[in-house]
Structure 1
Amino acid sequence: MFKTVITSLGLLCSTLALAELSISEKMRPVVYSQVNPEMARLPVPATPNQMNLPAFGQGLIGWGSGPEGAQARLDSITAADVHQMQIQGLTLEMVQAWQAFYTHESQRNLGNPTAPLRALLMQKIVSLW
């Protein structure tokens, strides 16, 4: 009798585990990469005084995070902001390199919604230079 109970419990646990696995796999969406494997990622461009990327992007440029942050900065940046960036060591060559980087990234990874907006932001900075 005890052996029958143990066997039944084992079978029940196996069935529950299988049901959980089936449910979890159905709930997880399949994500297909939109990266073009034939396009290599460009090297990350230089930043003023070798500042780290969060300090550069979110601090100096002010692009926030994600497409919303990039769009907000694109809509609000002024010539006075660009002048402050210049004082902090940003060069026109750096801005142009970042614009090329994000333009390339927009084409290399169609699943990156932030890259095209950052490319436009860099273009706007060049226009305000």
Structure 2
Amino acid sequence: MNFLKISQHILNCAIGLSIVVVAHVSHANSTAQIAPRVVDKTCQVNEKIERNAIPKTPHNMSLPAFGQGVIGWATGPEGAKARFENIQKQDLKAIQEKGTTLAMVKEWQAFYENEVQRNPCNPTAPYRAELMKKIAWLWG
């Protein structure tokens, strides 16, 4: 019975190797693309890297209200990638009117960049990091 469980675990790991996506972005211009690459799904959180404190949000709003309602990254890596690809300078007005500051954007960028290093198993973190980086770049 134990052999069967171990065999199933090995099979599940092998099947899942191509699921997790990490981003690599060049910000040479505002039309940079996030290129997916395959990461070993057996990855683990790097215990040597401390998780950054969760940054502030405008008016202490909830994280979903901020991420989805203000920044517009929706849920999952697909939502953050879509927002990254489509955000434009004119979108910043709505983000700013809801109380977001450039300092907040940079704190969230740093948070997600740290998360990419700390937890390579998080498929959403690279997209959110690059989205916040692009917002800061558009902010000027």
Superposition TM-score tier, normalisation by shorter sequence: 0.7 to 0.9
1:124 is aligned, of 124, 134, 140, to: 134
After TM superposition, the structure 1 = structure 2 runs for residues 1-129 of structure 1, keeping only pairs within 5 Å, are 26-28=7-9, 29=12, 32-129=42-139
Higher percent of residues as helix: 1
List alignment gaps of at least 5 residues for structure 1: 1-17
* CA-to-aligned-CA distance 1:95-119 (integer Å, 9 cap, x gap): 0000000000001111112111111
Structure 2 Cα separation of the partners of residues 72 and 63 of structure 1:
8
TM-score, normalising length: structure 1: 0.77
- Residue type at the aligned position of 1:66: G
- What is the identity percentage for the equivalent residue pairs of Structure 1 and Structure 2? 50
- Residue type at the aligned position of 1:41: R
Moved over 4 A (4+): 21-26
The count of aligned residue pairs is: 110
Name the larger-Rg structure. 1
- C-alpha RMSD of matched pairs (Å): 1.8
